[in-house]
Amino acid sequence: MRDDFLTTIKENERIIYKLVRIYAEQYDDQQDLYQEIIYQLWKSFNTFQGKSKISTWIYRVALNTSLAHINLRKKHSGEVSIHDIELQIEDKIDTQIEDKIAKMYQQIRRLNEIDRAIIFLSLEGKDYEEMATITGFTASNVGTRLNRIKQKLKTRLIKE
Amino acid sequence: MELEEIKSLWDDVNQKPAIKEFFSRQNISYMTQLNYNKQANTFRVAEIIGLVVAYALAGLILYKFNMLDTWYLSICGIIVVMYLLLMPLYTITGIIRMRKIDLAKSSYKEVMEHFYSVKSRLKQAENVSLIASPFLFVFSMAILAKIFMDIDFFTLTFQLPIVLLIVLAFTGAILFNIWAFKKRGKQLQSVKQLLEEGN
Predicted local confidence at residue B37, as pLDDT: 46
Q: Which residues of chain A have a CB within 8 Å of the CB of B198?
A: 114, 137-138, 141, 145
Q: How far is B159 from chain A (nearest CA, A)?
A: 45
Q: Which residues of chain A have a CB within 8 Å of the CB of B10?
A: 18, 104, 123
For chain B, say whether A85 makes contact (Cβ under 8 Å). no
Residue B82 above 70 pLDDT? yes
**Assembly ipTM:** 0.73
Predicted local confidence at residue A75, as pLDDT: 45
Residue B35 pLDDT level (bands cut at 50, 70, 90): very low
For chain A, say whether B96 makes contact (Cβ under 8 Å). no
Give the Cα separation of A23 and A55 in Å (integer). 19
Task: Give Cβ neighbours of residue A146 (< 8 Å, ≥ 6 apart).
Answer: A118, A119, A122, A128
Which residue numbers in chain A have pLDDT < 70?
A: 49, 74-94, 157-160
Give the Cα separation of A69 and A116 in Å (integer). 14
End-to-end CA, chain B: 33
Task: Name the average pLDDT for chain B.
Answer: 78
Q: Where are the alpha helices (DSSP H) in chain A?
A: 2-11, 13-23, 27-45, 54-72, 82-89, 95-109, 113-123, 128-135, 139-159
